[in-house]
Amino acid sequence: MSKTKIPALPGDVTWTEDQWKAIWAKDQDILVAAAAGSGKTAVLVNRIIQKVISEEDPIDVDELLVVTFTNASAAEMRHRVSEALEKAINDNPHSQHLRKQLSLINRASISTLHSFCLEVIRKYYYLTDIDPGFRIADSTEIQLLRDEVMEELFEEQYGQSDNEEFFNLVDAFTSDRNDDALQNIVRSLHDFSQSNPNPDRWLDGAASMYELADDDGIDDLSFIDSLKFDIGLQLDTARDLLERSLAVIKTPGGRLQGLRTI
């Protein structure tokens, strides 16, 4: 943050040095990473307010784009900015600029990332091939569409007589009554892949991890060490819980009477 001259941290504020830098740094790209509950929202609100009330280069609040991941976070952000503006007006009641900001707050682009993108598409639909009357499917509709596509996919695979690999997969992961378990695995893999920048590449890479030569064994899998480590952790946890349970039932009133330890 050397491009910006950061004001000295006053002694009467509760901000940390890093928070203070995040509030005041400008004229550069800034990435702030912090844990939950560390005050990121408060820092961002104060960063917005400082830009709005700046005496050197004040801006209007509706010139800013503020996006969050949830509607609740967006509503909280808008509420906090409004409260901060009201406090600034109380400190400077004659400022027409601040009063203007309070009237502009409802027009400010403070929303989820999805809502902002939806607004852009609706506004400039004529530049795309999207029908201006489109709407966003709700969760129930999306689930029904997913189920329909899944059923069609499996029916297509079942209809191929020489599809031995698929039939082996079905035998390994389904019961003799239905293939719901395998369908759930497919859904989980798809959902997880969507968190990657290139889902198709991730899925191809995940499949390649299971490719072994004819003379290779399970210990030659690339992920086997991590898997064994995870299994070890779970077994250690189970043993710890059993030992603690045994210690409890050995105490007076612990109902060990009539039980025989192994």
Give per-residue pLDDT as tens, 125-173: 889 888 888 888 888 999 999 999 999 999 999 999 889 999 999 999 8
Q: Tell me which H or E stretch contains 65.
A: strand 65-68
**pLDDT value of residue 259:** 52
Cα 163–chain centre separation: 37
CA-to-CA distance for 108 and 10, rounded, in angstroms?
A: 30
Choose the CATH number for 139-208 among 3.90.1150.10, 3.40.50.300, 1.10.10.60, 1.10.274.50: 1.10.274.50
**pLDDT value of residue 187:** 93
Phi, psi of 152, rounded to the nearest 5 degrees: -65, -40
**pLDDT value of residue 199:** 93
**pLDDT value of residue 4:** 62
Q: Which fold, 34-127?
A: Rossmann fold (3.40.50)
**Residue 2 DSSP class:** T
Closest CA to 101 of 161, 60, 162: 60
Name residues whose C-beta falls within 8 Å of residue 41's C-beta, 6 or more positions apart in sequence: 73, 76, 77, 80
Dump the DSSP string for 97-149: HHHHHHHHGGGSEEEEHHHHHHHHHHHTGGGSSS-TT-----HHHHHHHHHHH
Residue segments in the chain with a per-residue pLDDT below the cut of 70: 1-4, 253-262
